[in-house]
A and B are shown apart, each in its own frame.
Chain A
Amino acid sequence: MAATGAPTKITQGSQTKGGIGESTLRPDGTLKVTGEFAYSSDMWHEDMLWGQILRSTVAHAEIVSIDTGEALAMAGVYAVMTYEDLPTEVRNYGLEIQDTPVLAHGKVRHHGEPVAIVAADHPETARRAAAKIKVEYRELPVITDEASATAPDAILVHEGRDDHHIGHVPHPNIVHRQPIVRGDADAAAARADVIVKGEYYFGMQDQAFLGPESGLAVPSEDGGVELYVATQWLHSDLKQIAPVLGLPEDKVRMTLSGVGGAFGGREDLSMQIHACLLAMRTGKPVKIVYNRFESFFGHVHRHPARLFYEHGATKDGKLTHLKCRIVLDGGAYASASPAVVGNASSLAVGPYVIDDVDIEAIALYSNNPPCGAMRGFGAVQACFAYEAQMDKVAKELGMDPVEFRRINAMEQGTIMPTGQPVDSPAPVAELLRRVKAMPMPPERQWESSEGSDVRQLPGGLSNTTHGEGVVRGIGYAVGIKNVGFSEGFDDYSTAKVRMEVIGGEPVATVHTAMAEVGQGGVTVHAQIARTELGVTQVTIAPADTQVGSAGSTSASRQTYVTGGAVKNACELVREKVLEIGRRKFGSYHPAWATAELLLEGGKVVTDGGEVLGDLVDVLEGEAVEVEEEWRHRPTEPFDLRTGQGNGHVQYSFAAHRAVVEVDTELGLVKVVELACAQDVGKALNPLSVIGQIQGGTTQGLGIAIMEEIVVDPKTAKVRNPSFTDYLLPTILDTPTIPVDVLELADDHAPYGLRGIGEAPTLSSTPAVLAAIRNATGLALDRTPVRPEHLTGTA
């Protein structure tokens, strides 16, 4: 292994209690366990109205007419708005491409698209009014896959595209295309002893955060609006909302409410503009809360994908080449599709060394539900396919699948297919070694002296087996995910840090716009402030748009980027504090001028440990405040023909071993254990790190065996928009998840840390699939795998 565990330089604060590296507890924990934490759906205002959205009942149609008369005439109804009522010429929004209508204009492009909005004095009144809006549709044929999207006579999902991708895509129903070509895959294929092809399908996953889309818009006296909402990125929302409302950004004041999970599903707007429009129209506060049914239509999903892979290998187990084509279905609107294409193509090779590659990824426009960001996007779909391929090639060669991976594992110094060198630890082989070395769970763990405990068997409480037909399988997988926003995006964050004396104690206040969505950023920010400023008391101010952008809580980036911004701002504050100290007390001790000074335990100390003074005295009568942007090192876009470019900031790696028991007769699966090993660079908060890994692992388990939004291929309508038929793993479906955390510092990152949130979601799914293949001997080329796929009854 090339990398070693070089200690990270921490010159400050290693003595301060509650600093980085400790499992300090969440500052919002008490509020969350007492029910007092205010989520976006908990907002309440005197005299508030309820907003309701009318959504299309068909996937693709021209809107012939909309009649709102009857709805408007209802008692208790304050406003009904359609496209015609939008206040400015800006009537679309979107993360990268502004192709999404605030309200449908002339056409609907997917099932559940917002067509009209209503404000009324009770949610039931609003629902009844929405039901009275008459919309006449003239249905159009639906585009649901690559063939129908690129057929010669295909209807264009978006006419007259003028976005910056249209110039390089082969068809207007393709959002973006990214090839990655390096070496000569054909020539390399000629050297291969075995060539293994596979075609895989990855189903549409839902983020299924538990807190539904919701928020409260309150009109303000200056003609602006205050918006309390759950989002992943306040400033990105703001940039999309303000122009539609015709307001300058400073008149749309956004405050982050409690966020009930996100996982990418809150990167796009949902009810934000609608609530503001209704509030401004009625002059009253408007609350919108989606129910679970609506939530399935109210946010983008994980891209379903078809993946065509060809690997070659020599007899001694060296991969020769990769040819691969990844077709992602972006649905009706672009959302994050271009970035998903970038990730899928640039990470299609996986954490392996392959010099000769020919990769292409595209995202379609279709009439399926819009797809965008979800934990690990692009990389998740690719990992499912390349890990299935690794097992297949290993089998073809008669090699142990873990040994085969080890032989081909990338390491620090490996050149990616994009030409980018991997310039920090990449302990792929070590993670596999560790996860394989973990003790195995006991066999037949359901048996006890009292008989079979069905809760520990496939089928669980449903009492389908007492051990009959049950076969154990074991599978391994490892994945690679980029951290942060890539491809030349100006990815920065802003932190405002203030230090002052309150109540006789030095107190730091950290203010960022970072969306705390449950990941624990607020915990970590306080730890960083303690470490850097040597204080115990840290206040985390609510996230809002009164401070600069923090960027998105996504792409495993917040601890890196906003954590980095907090660290940076703290360092600047520290310098100022020391300046004050020198000014006030420099004459009392020569060390003020000569030594390297630290803030520790509420005191100014020399690096030799000598105490020079109390922070309380230094800060007496003074407050120090710094607001500063911070950037990670820049990235480059990928070349549009070759895919070459230093596109990524950092990579993150995790490996899983899955142990499953399959009832081979009924096709039911019990995941017994999902062990994970992950390199986190530096665990700023070990408890939170493990929580992230276990949570990400479980979302990967979900997509492996139960989670899928099912879209009718004939109508492009969603068939299971509810928690009755879109199944999330329960506590009885979730195994023990032992975690082995490796800390190999990345010297480019604050404290050497590595973004952690997404990597475990990648390898969990293919590990479970590999284990099921191991138990059943079946090929299994799609996920989720359902009982009918395991019993030949599909």
Chain B
Amino acid sequence: MDFLRPASWEEALAAKAEHPTAVPIAGGTDVMVEINFDHRRPEYLMDLNRIGDLSEWEVGEDSVRLGASVPYTRIMEDLSAELPGLALASHTVASPQIRNRGGVGGNLGTASPAGDAHPALLAAGAEVEAESVRGRRLIPIDEFYKGVKRNALEPDELIRAVHVKKADGPQQFSKVGTRNAMVIAVCAFGLALHPETRTVRTGIGSAAPTPVRAKTAEEFLNAALEEGGFWDSGKIITPSVAKQFAELCSGACNPIDDVRGTANYRRHAVGVMARRTLTWTWESYRGARNATEGAA
């Protein structure tokens, strides 16, 4: 095993081009477990900690450019206004120690369906900034997950940042685990209201081979909200609409039975979380809307 220590992003790209099998390591959350337990013996280990740029973020007009290694702790504490869904998801990641080291780049690189960031990124809308010596590209999050622990990166590419749309409305994230802290998702659900476009986006974790959006559920809800004039009226969402949305979210799952939970439970729990997160976000939207109207 060789340990590569690129001092700059350019060096990292060059090293990755030269050694496409090199495994990047930043927070170490996934890679070190695999090494400690003898599940993986990469030829090259490439430390990204030296590239300061990866741990920085910029808040732009429409989106936040979040460095791949910005620790979850920072997202929770410093970006909860811009990226509320991701901040909530970050708070559910493992333990304080892990949140101090791990970042979204690791979740994306590993592309485990159980990664906590995925549902929040899917719901908010995001693009993954991937780069190689051949150039830079932005991969829409919907096209990023390709299979169980497979993503759209080319062998010579590294994740530099993720561009996450700034919240234009309430967002929520829920995750079921069989413990009250430090737990891998049995399943997870992210939901974002986008009042500007009058759309709702979702993200489901750990209930299909990849993180997925519940697109049919989104389309149903978008239509129902539009037809019912909910965005304008700020009415309470009809229980039957919430119920059908929840059922469609369950239907978007394609889960398996495993040691962490049954497929049936995952479908069921995603439905419950979909209904609850919709209620929470919608209540929050109504609250904000009513406050604005009251002020006006």
Direct contact of A and B (CB under 8 A): yes
B108 lies within 8 A of chain A by Cβ: no
A202 CB to closest chain B CB (Å) equals 18
Chain B residues whose CB sits within 8 angstroms of the CB of A469 once the complex forms: 272
Out of A127, A666, A730, A793, which one reaches B179, CB within 8 Å? A730
* B37, B176, B180, B262 — most chain A CB neighbours (10 Å): B180
Interface string of A722-744 (1 = CB under 8 A from B): 10110101111100000000000
Query: Is the pair A727, B178 in contact by a Cβ cutoff of 8 Å?
Result: yes
Chain A residues whose CB sits within 8 angstroms of the CB of B180 once the complex forms: 455, 458-462, 670, 730, 732-733
B276 lies within 8 A of chain A by Cβ: yes
A36 lies within 8 A of chain B by Cβ: no
The CA-CA distance from A351 to B178 in the complex, in Å, is 32
Residues of chain A in range 305-344 having any CB-CB distance to chain B below 8 Å? none
B288 CB to closest chain A CB (Å) equals 15
Query: Is the pair B265, A788 in contact by a Cβ cutoff of 8 Å?
Result: yes
B61 lies within 8 A of chain A by Cβ: no
Interface string of A757-794 (1 = CB under 8 A from B): 00000000000000000000000000000111001011
The CA-CA distance from A462 to B188 in the complex, in Å, is 9
Query: Is the pair B272, A788 in contact by a Cβ cutoff of 8 Å?
Result: no
Query: Is the pair B178, A706 in contact by a Cβ cutoff of 8 Å?
Result: yes
With A458-B180, A666-B176, A666-B272 as contacts: A720 and B259 at CB distance below 8 Å: yes
Query: Is the pair B184, A733 in contact by a Cβ cutoff of 8 Å?
Result: no
Chain B residues whose CB sits within 8 angstroms of the CB of A389 once the complex forms: none
Query: Is the pair B272, A724 in contact by a Cβ cutoff of 8 Å?
Result: no
Query: Is the pair A706, B269 in contact by a Cβ cutoff of 8 Å?
Result: no
Residues of chain B in range 161-178 having any CB-CB distance to chain A below 8 Å? 172-178
Query: Is the pair A788, B36 in contact by a Cβ cutoff of 8 Å?
Result: no
The CA-CA distance from A791 to B269 in the complex, in Å, is 9
Query: Is the pair B176, A725 in contact by a Cβ cutoff of 8 Å?
Result: no
Query: Is the pair A787, B178 in contact by a Cβ cutoff of 8 Å?
Result: yes
Chain A residues whose CB sits within 8 angstroms of the CB of B175 once the complex forms: 462-464
A385 CB to closest chain B CB (Å) equals 23
B23 lies within 8 A of chain A by Cβ: no
The CA-CA distance from A127 to B40 in the complex, in Å, is 12
The CA-CA distance from A254 to B184 in the complex, in Å, is 41
Residues of chain A in range 356-387 having any CB-CB distance to chain B below 8 Å? none
Chain B residue at minimal CB-CB distance from A729: B179
B16 lies within 8 A of chain A by Cβ: no
Chain B residues whose CB sits within 8 angstroms of the CB of A462 once the complex forms: 92, 174-177, 180, 183, 185
Chain B residues whose CB sits within 8 angstroms of the CB of A665 once the complex forms: 272
With A463-B173, A464-B174 as contacts: A710 and B179 at CB distance below 8 Å: no
- Indicate the size class of the contact surface on chain A: 35 or more
Chain A residue at minimal CB-CB distance from B172: A463
B273 lies within 8 A of chain A by Cβ: yes
A499 lies within 8 A of chain B by Cβ: no
The CA-CA distance from A389 to B146 in the complex, in Å, is 51
Interface string of B124-143 (1 = CB under 8 A from A): 00000000000000000000
B235 lies within 8 A of chain A by Cβ: no
A465 lies within 8 A of chain B by Cβ: yes
B182 lies within 8 A of chain A by Cβ: yes
With A706-B178, A787-B176, A787-B269 as contacts: A461 and B184 at CB distance below 8 Å: no
A766 CB to closest chain B CB (Å) equals 20
With A464-B175, A465-B276 as contacts: A733 and B181 at CB distance below 8 Å: yes
A291 lies within 8 A of chain B by Cβ: yes
Query: Is the pair B265, A791 in contact by a Cβ cutoff of 8 Å?
Result: yes
A466 lies within 8 A of chain B by Cβ: yes
Query: Is the pair B179, A706 in contact by a Cβ cutoff of 8 Å?
Result: yes
The CA-CA distance from A558 to B5 in the complex, in Å, is 54
The CA-CA distance from A433 to B179 in the complex, in Å, is 31
The CA-CA distance from A504 to B183 in the complex, in Å, is 57
Chain A residues whose CB sits within 8 angstroms of the CB of B20 once the complex forms: none
The CA-CA distance from A725 to B267 in the complex, in Å, is 20
Chain A residues whose CB sits within 8 angstroms of the CB of B118 once the complex forms: none
**B: number of interface residues (CB 8 Å):** 35
Chain A residues whose CB sits within 8 angstroms of the CB of B21 once the complex forms: none
Chain A residues whose CB sits within 8 angstroms of the CB of B260 once the complex forms: 725
Chain A residue at minimal CB-CB distance from B185: A462
Interface string of B246-274 (1 = CB under 8 A from A): 00000000000001111011011100110
Chain B residues whose CB sits within 8 angstroms of the CB of A791 once the complex forms: 265, 268-269
A589 lies within 8 A of chain B by Cβ: no
A719 lies within 8 A of chain B by Cβ: yes
Out of A455, A730, A731, A787, which one reaches B265, CB within 8 Å? A787
Residues of chain A in range 706-724 having any CB-CB distance to chain B below 8 Å? 706, 710, 719-720, 722, 724
Residues of chain A in range 456-485 having any CB-CB distance to chain B below 8 Å? 458-466, 468-469
Chain B residues whose CB sits within 8 angstroms of the CB of A729 once the complex forms: 179
A489 lies within 8 A of chain B by Cβ: no
A44 lies within 8 A of chain B by Cβ: no
Residues of chain A in range 221-248 having any CB-CB distance to chain B below 8 Å? none
Chain B residues whose CB sits within 8 angstroms of the CB of A466 once the complex forms: 276, 280
Chain B residues whose CB sits within 8 angstroms of the CB of A793 once the complex forms: 262, 264-265, 267-268
Residues of chain B in range 181-209 having any CB-CB distance to chain A below 8 Å? 181-186
The CA-CA distance from A665 to B246 in the complex, in Å, is 13
Query: Is the pair A668, B264 in contact by a Cβ cutoff of 8 Å?
Result: no
Out of A720, A730, A787, which one reaches B181, CB within 8 Å? A730
B38 lies within 8 A of chain A by Cβ: yes
Out of A458, A727, A786, which one reaches B183, CB within 8 Å? A727
A425 lies within 8 A of chain B by Cβ: no
The CA-CA distance from A724 to B175 in the complex, in Å, is 16
Chain A residues whose CB sits within 8 angstroms of the CB of B173 once the complex forms: 463
With A462-B174, A667-B265, A793-B262 as contacts: A468 and B179 at CB distance below 8 Å: no
B91 lies within 8 A of chain A by Cβ: yes
Chain B residue at minimal CB-CB distance from A468: B276
Chain B residues whose CB sits within 8 angstroms of the CB of A720 once the complex forms: 259
Chain B residue at minimal CB-CB distance from A721: B37
The CA-CA distance from A732 to B182 in the complex, in Å, is 9
The CA-CA distance from A791 to B271 in the complex, in Å, is 12
Query: Is the pair A464, B276 in contact by a Cβ cutoff of 8 Å?
Result: yes
The CA-CA distance from A666 to B172 in the complex, in Å, is 17
The CA-CA distance from A131 to B265 in the complex, in Å, is 38
The CA-CA distance from A127 to B1 in the complex, in Å, is 15
The CA-CA distance from A719 to B264 in the complex, in Å, is 20
Chain B residues whose CB sits within 8 angstroms of the CB of A670 once the complex forms: 180
The CA-CA distance from A666 to B269 in the complex, in Å, is 6
Chain B residues whose CB sits within 8 angstroms of the CB of A705 once the complex forms: 178
B26 lies within 8 A of chain A by Cβ: no
B181 CB to closest chain A CB (Å) equals 4
B39 CB to closest chain A CB (Å) equals 9
Chain A residue at minimal CB-CB distance from B41: A128
The CA-CA distance from A722 to B260 in the complex, in Å, is 12
The CA-CA distance from A258 to B272 in the complex, in Å, is 48
The CA-CA distance from A129 to B268 in the complex, in Å, is 47
Query: Is the pair B181, A668 in contact by a Cβ cutoff of 8 Å?
Result: no
With A463-B173, A465-B276, A729-B179 as contacts: A291 and B36 at CB distance below 8 Å: yes
Chain B residues whose CB sits within 8 angstroms of the CB of A668 once the complex forms: 176, 178
Chain A residues whose CB sits within 8 angstroms of the CB of B276 once the complex forms: 464-466, 468
A353 CB to closest chain B CB (Å) equals 38
B83 lies within 8 A of chain A by Cβ: no
Query: Is the pair A727, B179 in contact by a Cβ cutoff of 8 Å?
Result: yes
Chain A residues whose CB sits within 8 angstroms of the CB of B183 once the complex forms: 462, 727
Chain B residues whose CB sits within 8 angstroms of the CB of A732 once the complex forms: 180-181
Chain A residues whose CB sits within 8 angstroms of the CB of B38 once the complex forms: 127, 131
Chain A residue at minimal CB-CB distance from B262: A788
12 contacts between A and B (CB under 8 A): A459-B177, A460-B181, A461-B181, A463-B174, A468-B276, A666-B273, A724-B184, A727-B183, A787-B261, A788-B261, A791-B265, A793-B264
Residues in chain A within 8 A of chain B (CB atoms): 127, 131, 291, 293, 455, 458-466, 468-469, 665-668, 670, 705-706, 710, 719-720, 722, 724-725, 727, 729-733, 786-788, 791, 793-794
Residues in chain B within 8 A of chain A (CB atoms): 36-38, 88, 91-92, 172-186, 259-262, 264-265, 267-269, 272-273, 276, 279-280
Nearest 6 interchain pairs by C-beta: A460-B180, A793-B264, A793-B265, A732-B181, A788-B265, A462-B175
